[in-house]
Amino acid sequence: SLQDQFDNLEKHTQWGIDVLEKYIKFVKERTEIELSYAKQLRNLSKKYQPKKNSKEEEEYRYTSTRAFLATLNEMNDYAGQHEVISENMTSLITGELTRYVQELKQERKSHFHDGRKAQQHIETCWKQLEASKRRFERDCKEADRAQQYFEKMDADINVTKADVEKARQQAQLRHQMAEDSKAEYSSTLQKFNSEQHEHYYTHIPNIFQKIQEMEERRIVRIGESMKTFAEVDRQVIPIIGKCLDEITKAAESVDHKNDSQMVIEAFKSGFEPPGDIDFEDFTQPMKRTVSESSLSNSRGDGKSEPKFGSKSKGKLWPFIKKNKLMSLLTSPHQPPPPPPASASPSAVPNGPQSPKQQKEPLSHRFNEFMTSKPKIHCFRSLKRGGAGPEDFSNLPPEQRRKKLQQKVDELNRDIQKEMDSRDALTKMKDVYIKNPQMGDAASVDHRLAELGQNIERLRLEVQKFEGWLAEVEGRLPARTEQPRRQSGVYEAQNASGVNSCAQDRESPDGSYTEEQSQETEMKVPATDFDDEFDDEEPLPTIGTCKALYTFEGQNEGTISVAEGEMLYVIEEDKGDGWTRIRRNEDEEGYVPTSYVEVYLDKNAK
Contact (Cβ atoms closer than 8 angstroms) between residue 569 and residue 579: yes
Q: Give the pLDDT score at 232.
A: 94
Q: Is 112 or 317 the better-scoring residue by pLDDT?
A: 112
How confident is the model over 367-376, as pLDDT tens digits? 444 444 443 3
Mean pLDDT within 147-169: 85
The answer to whether residue 326 scores a pLDDT higher than 80 is no
User: Taking 50 as the threshold, does the pLDDT of residue 333 lie above it?
Assistant: no
Residue 212 has pLDDT above 90, yes or no: yes
Q: Is the Cβ–Cβ distance between 355 and 391 less than 8 Å?
A: no
Confidence of residue 237 (pLDDT cuts 50, 70, 90): very high
Q: What is the pLDDT of residue 466?
A: 87
Residue 357 has pLDDT above 80, yes or no: no
Residue 434: pLDDT band by 50, 70, 90 thresholds?
confident
Cβ neighbours for 561, distance < 8 A, ≥ 6 positions apart: 547, 550, 551, 553, 567, 581, 591, 595, 596
- The whole-number average pLDDT for the span 264-279 is 81
Question: What share of the chain has pLDDT > 70, as a percent?
Answer: 71
Residue 243 vs residue 573, higher pLDDT = 243
Report d(CA 92, CA 27) in Å as an integer. Answer: 11
Q: Give the start-end residues of each E strand in 197-313.
A: none
- Dump pLDDT digits (tens) for 58-74: 777 889 989 999 999 99
pLDDT at residue 379 is higher than 50: no
Does position 514 have pLDDT exceeding 80, yes or no? no
The pTM of this model reads 0.48
For the residues 555-573, what does the mean pLDDT come to? 87
Closest CA to 72 of 45, 53, 36: 45
pLDDT at 487 over 60: no
Q: What is the pLDDT of residue 319?
A: 39
Angle in degrees, 0-180, between the axes of helices 63-89 and 256-267, rounded to the nearest 10: 120
Task: State whether residue 73 is helix, strand or coil.
Answer: helix
**CA–CA separation, 163 vs 336, rounded Å?**
162
CB atoms within 10 A of CB 206: 14
Whether 116 shows a pLDDT value over 80: the answer reads yes
Bridge partners (DSSP) listed for residue 568: 544, 582
Backbone angles phi, psi at 544, to 5 degrees: -130, 170
Residue 57: band (very low, low, confident or very high) from pLDDT cuts 50, 70, 90: low
**pLDDT tier for residue 110 given thresholds of 50, 70 and 90:** very high
pLDDT at 399: 78
**Cα(12)–Cα(9) distance, integer angstroms:** 5
| Lowest-pLDDT range of 20-24, 503-507, 582-586 | 503-507
Q: Is the pLDDT of residue 224 over 80?
A: yes
Dihedral Cα 295, 298, 300, 306, nearest 10 deg: 150
At 35, which helix (H) or strand (E)?
helix 2-47
* Mean pLDDT along residues 497-518: 39
d(CA 245, CA 230): 23
